[in-house]
Structure 1
Amino acid sequence: MRKLGSDFGWLWSAYAVSTYGTWLAFGAFPLIAVRVLDSSAFAVSLLEAAGLAVAAMLAVPLGPWVAYRRKLPVMIATDLVRFAALASVPAAYALGVLSYGQLLVVAVVCGTAAITFTAASGAYLKSLVRGDRLLAANGRFEAASWAATAAGPPLGGALVGLLGPVVTITADAVSHLLSALAVRRIRSGD
């Protein structure tokens, strides 16, 4: 990473930690819906599909919106939004007020924030890394993404088995807070 610079290192770390957190908690929402809220199979399917479906619909208008915004504040804001949304789940669970509707809203908010973060980080990467190093930088992002996709769900399953799905959601929330802190360390302007 030395050749790519410390700012790239912070951006890559932010992306990697939030991606791992997301994949770590991949199966936690359906488990909470079934085990804690006694949701039906249809409700669980809707929960899985709704976040991505709504986020995909919002991706088209979000693209131009992100294009005309400063990327670092957008990335920090989306990480903090994901942190707050995800942290609301264990808080509501602890208070005994967790509902299916809340899980649905959190899934939609997190899906939309994830698409926004990815768009902003991809655009920022192009301004951060010189053209001759961009292939290597994109390769590191892809490697982090595929490693998280492969390792996250099994590790998350083990974490759910050991500590439960609510703790796994908490770990995902913390990953986004750590990501925001890493983005905050970037010194290059956008």
Structure 2
Amino acid sequence: MPALTSARLGADFAKLWTASAVSNVGDGITMAAGPLLIASITDSPALVAGAVFVQQLPWLLFALLSGAYVDRLDRRRLVVTVNLVRAAALTTLALTIATGTVTVAVCYAVLFLLGTGETLADTAMGALLPSVVAPDRLSSANARLYATFTIGNQFVAKPLGAWLFVIAAAAPFGLNALTFVLAAVLLVRLRPAPAPAATTHASVIRSIAEGVRWLWRHRLLRTLALSMGVGNVAFCAAFAVFVLYCRQRLGVSDVGYGFLLTAFAVGGLAGTALATRLVRTFGRTVVLRVGLVVEMLTHLILATTTALWVVVAVLVVFSAHGMVWGVTVASLRQRLAPSHLLGRVGSAYAVLDLGGAAVGSLLGGLIAGVWGITTPFWIAGVTMALVALAAWRPLTQSQNRSEAIEEG
């Protein structure tokens, strides 16, 4: 597989792709084991959801600042450094678990540090890609990266993370630390990209404002960012307590919870395989509109069902939509944003996208704790219906060829 990727997209993409694959496995292990760790310390929905919130909070606090520095610093070295710092944080967490000194506060501190690293590393990786592959291959490259995420992060890592946690609670976090070290080693071998064109003497605030203005003036990207910002408030309000939903409403075990998460992988893999074909066949407008409808129906069905097979089917369809949407939007943003603004435009988008996830995670735990485990799903379903209505007409711009779309 790496050899095929090298031949089609270049040796540098193969290195970036492999590093992404390795770190995605580690991330997926922690994503499965993390909620189980918190749930083993406390049964409070607010505290369980709070663990998700503290990892996403840095996107609200630091995403714009991270984007500014991604456009000023060597992006490859930045990702390497951040990966090593994240490895050290996970090693610390593993040691506290192994010695029986882990607390909710320790978990929150490590997760906050991991989230802060993500604002830098994820933004830098997205900005690196256009310097590694040609513009007309961005869709293919993104599809490969998303497929790797699906296979490594969800198919392999989720059940492995849950199984490792049952065997030895510290093991999944120690293994994730190793994956970050390996990813850093792989990226060191990546050919240095051209230095970002952003002027380092400009103030950070002015640099951030330039990226925000560009995104806000582009009608299509602004609509997509706002839609997913609100959409992620809804999604994460519901799924922040998904581990408790699985236990209390579906009656699945910890290991069963890990395997249930692989339903996301099944749909995600299909979505990455079909994304480019669906856009070519039906056009971006139809694909994006259908995606908003899928989001609405997902939450409403999960709020009403207790049948495990229905939940699995819904998660498969939802994940397929998520990957199609992700590949489509990421490729559009990388094509349309100027090279020297990629970090700042990407981080401005992420403030709405992942910042919304942070807000949703906090609200979901509070809502579930007061009104019950299904209430966040009901609220999410209604919210996505309103988002779909608001975005329906603006998304018609997505029918145009992306190469011809100019700044709005």
Give the TM-score taking structure 2 as reference length. 0.43
> 1:17: which partner in 2?
22
Count of paired positions? 187
Aligned AA for 1:141? L
> 1:28: which partner in 2?
33
Distance in 2, matches of 1:188 and 1:72, equals: 7
> 2:42: which partner in 1?
39
Distance in 1, matches of 2:47 and 2:139, equals: 42
Kept after mapping to 2: 8 A contact 1:7/1:188: no
> 2:141: which partner in 1?
137
Report how far residue 40 of structure 1 moved. 4.4
Kept after mapping to 2: 8 A contact 1:78/1:117: yes
The one of 10, 27, 48 equivalent to 1:5 is 10
> 1:158: which partner in 2?
163
Aligned AA for 2:42? S
> 2:78: which partner in 1?
74
Kept after mapping to 2: 8 A contact 1:28/1:166: no
Aligned-CA RMSD value: 1.9
Distance in 1, matches of 2:26 and 2:163, equals: 14
Give the TM-score taking structure 1 as reference length. 0.88
Runs (4+) of structure 1 exceeding 6 A deviation are none
Kept after mapping to 2: 8 A contact 1:22/1:172: yes
Report how far residue 15 of structure 1 moved. 1.1
Kept after mapping to 2: 8 A contact 1:21/1:173: yes
Please, which moves more after superposition, 47-56 or 136-145?
47-56
Aligned AA for 2:53? A
Aligned AA for 2:18? S
Of structures 1 and 2, the one with the larger relative CO (CA 8 A, separation 6+) is 1
Kept after mapping to 2: 8 A contact 1:128/1:188: no
Instruction: Note the alpha carbon deviations across 1:108-152, whole angstroms, 9 max, x for none.
Output: 111121232111011111111122332221221121123334313
- SS of 1:81's equivalent in the other structure is helix
Report how far residue 95 of structure 1 moved. 4.0
Q: Does 1:58 align with 2:62?
A: yes
Kept after mapping to 2: 8 A contact 1:27/1:156: yes
- SS of 2:31's equivalent in the other structure is coil
Which consecutive unaligned segments of at least 5 residues does structure 2 have? 195-408
